[in-house]
């Protein structure tokens, strides 16, 4: 589906909306008039009014709409909303209203969270989504409830708090739906000792900078990849280094992304717990062995249960489990059976993801039959109903490009078990210091914007450019400390 802009260059705002509203129509930006299916988004700037118009043609049908805004009230965000609303009005003449209305961003809860933190009520936040963004009742409820959890999490923060992410970009093998920066240990196992040496050097540097800055580490998350790809001695070494170089006395949450059940055993789980971690993820993605094989997961549902029970014996009370709605070969019935099997274990957290067809993933390049958008809708409806019935509530939510049915990912928790790192990171509530290959440090600035510092993506690049990484961390801390002056 072509897209032509006239009179403005807010391409991202309109492109993301087109992708969300017409996910089955390939995007093709153009810079000249065209024939056939596509959209023209135009902006006319007059002395008194800004007028946005949209003309969409799809399968031989054409729709038009326009919106206007007084020029003296037109800042950048309102201009973008004007363009999106005109596009949305035209699109609704060609398709049914989507669940997320005219929202196209990955963090819809930032709108409702800001409303609450500025003194608004849950009803005010709901009204914002309904009247300005046309969001459905079900999605409004998820969004507002997640923001209420965020508002509670904010109360636990002080101005000098930060969170820390430590990345282990290795996995035993690569799932066909994955586009994360991770290396299969089938090919790169020899890099692991060197990578760990380099990561501990970065830990030492960041530890010194943290101590000098007076910052307090509030949550710590070891993610990946699959961190438990590391051997038990390697994990002990990493966690000992964290305790040596970081002051963890103010820590309120310490998570390790266990991920693959086949990377976990009793000894490793006990070592992780002894290292100070109080929360772990054990992620089956599905409890259907046929679907596991189809996506390249080299474990069984039975191994997931064994890993979960071993984590309980190791002393873990906080255990998250991930499921994905929309995997190849799955059906609403088999997804419901997977969720029921997970709920029978009574984990503290369940994260329900919607499959996203990511460009760098093998799945995007293979001709596999996927569940329809209606099937995914049924999966998510069942998940919400079953989770609520068992006392779980949504605590964080985000969206991604190319998601089946343009739905969302939702973290659910039992009372008292909200994943705080996930909230602080997704809502961008304070600075996140990130270490390791592919990690991205985000420094919150006083004007509400972020300054980002990227580590090299791949393990080999990270090893080769470690001195640059350490210098960049010093720059990040200089900015972090200067913003308080």
Mean pLDDT for the stretch of residues 158-174: 92
Phi-psi region of 92 (alpha: psi -120 to 50; beta: other; left: phi over 0): alpha
Q: Cβ distance 336 to 379 under 8 Å? A: yes
Output the pLDDT for position 181: 54
Instruction: Give the mean model confidence (pLDDT) for residues 232-255.
Output: 98
Percent of the chain with pLDDT over 90: 83
Query: Tens digits of per-residue pLDDT, 435-465?
Result: 999 999 999 988 888 999 999 988 999 999 9
Distance CA 332, CA 288 (A): 12
| Of 423, 468, 418, 428, the residue nearest 451 (C-alpha) | 428
Q: How many C-beta atoms surround the C-beta of residue 75 within 10 A?
A: 8
Q: In the prediction, which pLDDT does 401 show?
A: 79
pLDDT of residue 196: 97
Q: What is the pLDDT of residues 336-364, one digit of tens each?
A: 999 999 999 999 999 999 998 776 667 76
Confidence at residue 140, expressed as pLDDT on a 0 to 100 scale: 98
- What confidence score (pLDDT) does residue 182 get? 53
Lateral strand order in the sheet of 28-30? 28-30, 2-6, 38-45, 49-58, 61-70
Annotate 207-244 with b (16+ C-beta within 10 A) or e (fewer): bebbeeeebbbbbbbbbbbbbbbbbeebbbbbbebbee
Structure tokens at 89: 């009005």
Instruction: Indicate the range of 75-89, 262-276, 353-367 predicted with least confidence.
Output: 353-367
- Weakest mean pLDDT among 128-132, 274-278, 376-380, 397-401: 397-401
Model pTM score: 0.92
The per-residue pLDDT for 173 is 79
Over 70: is that where the pLDDT of 485 sits? no
Q: Supply the pLDDT for residue 38.
A: 97
Bigger pLDDT: 181 or 429? 429
Q: Which two tokens stand for residue 7?
A: 């009179």
Q: What are the structure tokens assigned to 355, written together? A: 């499959």
Distance CA 439, CA 453 (A): 8
Confidence of residue 108 (pLDDT cuts 50, 70, 90): very high
Q: For residue 248, what are the CA distances in angstroms to 276, 317, 428?
A: 9, 20, 21
């Amino acid at each position: 589906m072509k897209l032509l802009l006239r009179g403005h260059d807010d391409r991202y705002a309109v492109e993301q909306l087109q992708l969300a509203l017409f996910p089955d129509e390939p995007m093709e930006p153009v810079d000249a008039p065209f024939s056939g299916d596509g959209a023209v988004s135009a902006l006319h700037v007059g002395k008194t009014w800004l007028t946005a118009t949209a003309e969409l043609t799809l399968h031989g049908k054409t729709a038009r709409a326009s919106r206007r805004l007084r020029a003296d009230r037109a800042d950048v965000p309102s201009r973008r909303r004007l363009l999106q609303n005109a596009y949305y009005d035209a699109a609704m003449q060609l398709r049914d209203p989507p669940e997320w209305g005219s929202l196209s961003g990955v963090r819809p809860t930032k709108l409702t969270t800001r409303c609450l933190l500025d003194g608004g009520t849950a009803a005010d936040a709901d009204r914002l989504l309904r009247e300005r963004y046309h969001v459905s009742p079900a999605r409004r409820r998820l969004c507002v409830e997640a923001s209420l959890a965020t508002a509670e999490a904010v109360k636990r923060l002080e101005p000098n708090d930060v969170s820390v992410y430590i990345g282990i970009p290795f996995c035993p093998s690569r799932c066909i739906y994955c586009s994360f920066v991770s290396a299969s240990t089938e090919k790169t196992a020899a890099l692991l000792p060197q990578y760990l040496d380099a990561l501990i050097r970065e830990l030492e540097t960041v530890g010194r900078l943290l101590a000098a800055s007076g910052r307090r580490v509030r949550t710590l998350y070891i993610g990946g990849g699959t961190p438990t790809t590391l051997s038990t001695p390697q994990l002990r070494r990493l966690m000992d280094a964290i305790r040596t170089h970081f002051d963890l006395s103010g820590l309120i949450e310490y998570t390790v992304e266990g991920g693959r059940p086949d990377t976990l055993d009793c000894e490793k789980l006990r070592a992780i717990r002894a290292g100070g971690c109080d929360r772990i993820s054990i992620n089956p993605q599905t409890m259907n062995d046929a679907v596991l094989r189809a996506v390249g997961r080299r474990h069984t549902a039975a191994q997931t249960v064994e890993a979960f029970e071993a984590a309980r014996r190791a002393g873990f009370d906080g255990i998250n489990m991930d499921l994905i709605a929309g995997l190849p070969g799955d059906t609403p019935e088999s997804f419901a059976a997977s969720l029921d099997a997970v709920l029978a274990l009574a984990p503290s957290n369940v994260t329900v993801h919607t499959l996203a067809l990511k460009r760098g993933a093998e799945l995007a390049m293979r001709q596999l039959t996927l569940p329809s958008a209606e099937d995914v809708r049924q999966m998510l409806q069942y998940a919400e109903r079953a989770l609520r019935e068992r006392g779980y509530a949504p605590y964080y939510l985000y969206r991604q490009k190319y998601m089946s049915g343009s739905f969302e990912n939702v973290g659910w928790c039992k009372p008292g078990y909200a994943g705080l790192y996930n909230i602080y990171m997704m809502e961008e509530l304070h600075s996140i210091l990130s270490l390791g290959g592919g990690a991205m440090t985000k420094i919150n600035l006083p004007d509400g914007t972020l300054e980002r510092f990227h580590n090299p993506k791949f393990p080999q690049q990270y090893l080769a450019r470690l001195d640059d990484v350490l210098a960049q961390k010093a720059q990040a801390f200089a900015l972090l400390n200067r913003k308080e002056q």
